[in-house]
Structure 1
Amino acid sequence: MWSSVVPMPSSVAQTSGTSVGSTRICQGLFFNNTREANIANNAFVTFNRVFGQVTPDIVVSGGASTPIIQVFQEGQEIDLNSDDNILNQVQTLGIRDENGNIVPNLGYAIDALETELLAIGLDAAAAESQSLIGIQAFLNTPEQISFENTVLNVIQRIQQNLTAAQQTLIADNLADEVVGQILTFTHPDILIRFGVPDGEVVAIATTVKNRIQSILFNIEGSEDFDIINAEIQSFLLDNQLVGKPYQDTVRTSLENFNQEIDRIQDQQGTSLLSGSEVFFEYSLPNETDESYELRLPTLAELQASGLTGPGTIEELAYRVVRDDDSVAAEGTITSDTADATTFFLPEDAEAFFSVKVQVGSLNNVDDLNISLNLGGNCGGAQQEQSLTIVVSELGLVDPFGEIRSCDGGLLEDYTGFQVALYNTSSNDPTFPLQGLTDLTLTEIPDIGGNNIPLGLAPNDENANPFFLTNADQGRYTFLLDNARGQLDVGRNYVLVVSPPPGSNFLQRRIHIEIIQRQGSIVTYQATAIDGSPLGALTNAIQIDQFTAQGTLTVTDAESVGLRIFAFTLSSIEICQAEEISITKVGDRIAAEPGDTVLYRLNVRSLSSSPVNTLVIDDVLPTGLVLVEDVVKAQFEDQPLEVTVSRNGRNVEFQLPPDFTLETGESFDLVYAAQVTPDGFRGDGENLAFVEGLKTRTNTSVGDGPAIHRLRIEPGIVADCGTLIGRVFVDKNFDGHQQPGEPGIPNAVIFLEDGNRIMTDADGLYSVANVLPGYHTGILDLESVPGYDLAPNRYFIAENGQSRVARLEPGGLARMNFAVTPAIDGEVQ
């Protein structure tokens, strides 16, 4: 198989022969000892197979071994170190798959990261292991994560399993922009392997690094990784490499890398599997003024002496192309070729080689290595290329997560919260708790020789239950042990979040089921048993995955965490006792047919998240009919548009979708209803509900019913009277409102029959058609935050929270309430 870089003439002449005159005879393929040749074939590919099996990481690396080919001149063996042996400029054209695509050499990124870790002082063993971990973390990072957080995630994973001193070394010296260069494949070591010359790569890579640093320090870093990756690579290609002869090669290499990463992150795996055919391609230009004769072995000889490991050489193709694009020789060595093949490499010609190797079985192995040695002694060192498959072991896997407030923020205090993991059965839809899950003991730091694995903060010892502290910021971790069957598909758990005793929070229970295993990728489904919202995050970084239905599928337990939103008792969520409130009052408590009753609704947001898409549902009493031209809404003294729709007794008032209530803000809605003779058949009870959406989490909030009871009379009762009053700021504590003493709007007074009265903008209220006799009113101090009852220096009887008024038949009675500002509970 030949790639597009190899000339493809229409006619081919295959030749073979022996030494003629002073023609040099070379057998095999020849490799120089330059840096490019030694490193050009490193590749790293991660792919996933069917769940329940291992996840292999394929590594192709370069090396050298003893020459297996000899060089002769006129029948005599010549010295390898002779100055006459100048045919040594072998060029590597890359490793291609069976579709002709360059195999993305992700090993370039591993090598670059390892070089940087060594440069900051990390020891060789740690640099080698943590560079692989870092790139694996990158490949497992969801595509929705921002560029900045992707870089931070890789650095965090590199620091895992290291000593505190090593972690500090990385934190203080491994620059974010350098890691960004590696992840975007614009690091100088990678650019060299793409063909950028040594003399130019430093200046080009430095300019790109400065651009990445600028992105990380600006708001651009918060954009998705894919967007910034494309911007950086475009910056490289369109600004730094424009007009360069190697620009197209770099562009093609970057495209292949991006495609491979997309495949891996989409869990499609790579193109390299058991049975895959891999092609190692090289060229050998003859820039001398002499002709050479090359001798290639049979496949059986090459398989026996040049190949090690579970792989099979299927063919060796060669082609010799002159500088005028004509073909001097071409052929393919197969298993049917019985003898060695010889052909001439004329002056100013170039030989191309493609070795086709089929990858052997990857099943039931801890590691797999295929090495191909096609060395020769025509000057320079031979090249051994190794295809190494390292199987990632599945040890302790961490389904981590966080406890957050209802709007996604941190709680003010996590003291006393505990998170526990219980066993349960999938056969019982109630998911009963069947005892705490026995977790494997861990430790931080890892002390060698005690058979206790390294833990994961904040749950250093893998305790169950785990008690949160404010330092944890709601984060928990539980490490499940694959060796104990805790990650088997079908295993069921219940995660229980318990609030402190006597607190205002509800216990939450989350059902977790392991639904899929693909090597080290564990997928589980989390379902809130109470149906409340769940969210997802990646290494403490929230991603755009939220469900209001309380069911969430987490596709990688180690890199994606479960975010649990805690809710409180009495409709109180973490952010506030209730997130929205609705209050309903009427202008009277009794009416007769023909009367018009005015209802006033007040809706207030108590959520820490803005609330919009507000809708009020009102259920009118039997016999009352909406007066549609008397519907008005007001926010901060400005009218609001209201859309009204009716369905029998149900009336819906819809606010504009873009109208938003911030924390503490409220609006009023007033409407009228006329009493009909059918009112006698009903109970006079009016119900109102409100619903809205929190803008930050797109979850609903609501309150209600707010109730007002209207007594329907057969006619106006002659001896009914009216209660009036006011709530005001009493500055001189005399119990009377005087100029300069303002009224308090929206203050609530409860009457003895349970009805509520609300003051108007001037602090005044009145209730008509009240039966004569003694009536009691109580001021609701919660409706006047920041105020307390004002003392009365003249009438001791008015120093209480309640008032008693005697209403004469047809008369008028007054109940006034004086208040004064209160600071820290003391009356000022």
Structure 2
Amino acid sequence: MDPLDELLEYQPGSALLPEGLAGTVSYDAGSRAVRFDIPSLPAGFSGEITFRAAVRRDAPGNAPIVNTAGVTTSLSSAPTLSNSTFNTVLARSLLVTKKAGSTVAEAGDIVAYTVRVENVGAAPLEHVTVEDQIPAGFRYIKGSSRVDGSAVADPAGSSRHLGWDLGSMAPAAVKLLSYRLVLLAGVPAGTSVNWARASGITGTGSGSVSPPASAAVKVRPSILGDKAVIMGRIFRDRNGNGIPDPGEAGEPGVRIYLEDGSFVLSDAEGQYSFTGVASGNHVLKIDRETLDPALRPLPYNTSFAGVGWSQFVTVPFGGPARADFAMMPAPEPPSPPPPLPPECLPRRRSHRRSHWCRPLPAP
């Protein structure tokens, strides 16, 4: 029997008996004890029993946790005590909460995430870092990271383990990290959970790590099978970075052509999509007759080949692929040159020339 410290919470289903040994496991919430009942133990047997217990979220920092188990038999009711383990609850200086912008998604969808980091300690923290483990089949969208609404550098790390350095945080300070992930064609159906935690360093050099926070998205099977989706947005790019950022208006009613002649119109938010597209290389073109003449498309990467209204797109097997069209204000046409005085105008049957012709002053 193992009575748990009041700061521990037993994790149901976590107890395991040694392999090949019969028995039962129970937990009594009143006495807070985990009980292993083993009818028979062979002579000379050696093994271990295990279970998991979590530290309560409201456990005070620097509190001690002591655990001691006892063994009784049918021959002796007096328990034989095990060694005692001693642990100390780390004082938490950081708390993290995480939210997903969508609870249900499928291949090709984009999900926005927000991570809230708070310094609940009494000391300032340096090099506060958020580490995020994203689910299989999800991919980070480059250029989508924001801290408190301002663009920041893309995270370091591998494709599924991302890390952002938020800098320093004073006591009671809060920072909001946001970013976006796209669901790839091979994303497995079911519930996908990603985890985030924050860490920082105090002025004395000691570290602080937050409890993990998670956000779940239910991935539903795609209705397109092995076909792909090309999606994108026609938008007014106010900051000229080629990425549809929050607050940048979409351009509705713009016709977009695929190379096979099929076309769609952008919706009220400037979004469009082609479904059932085969994998491979494709070409998208904007019908400039449907575009506001005050706008001009911006070729912000090499897929445009220098022309902002036509874009090459490579669609992987099963997709999806994305092709945005960024719009900037069109330059104003140049002013016409000022008129010349009458004596400078060409005359028939005349060989006289004026060497002092000057444009008339503008009215």
Alignment TM class, shorter chain as reference: 0.3 to 0.5
Structure possessing the higher radius of gyration over alpha carbons: 1
Structure-2-length-normalised TM-score: 0.37
Higher relative contact order (CA 8 A, sep 6+): 2
TM-score, normalized by length of structure 1?
0.17
Greater helix fraction, Structure 1 or Structure 2: 1
Larger strand share, 1 or 2: 2
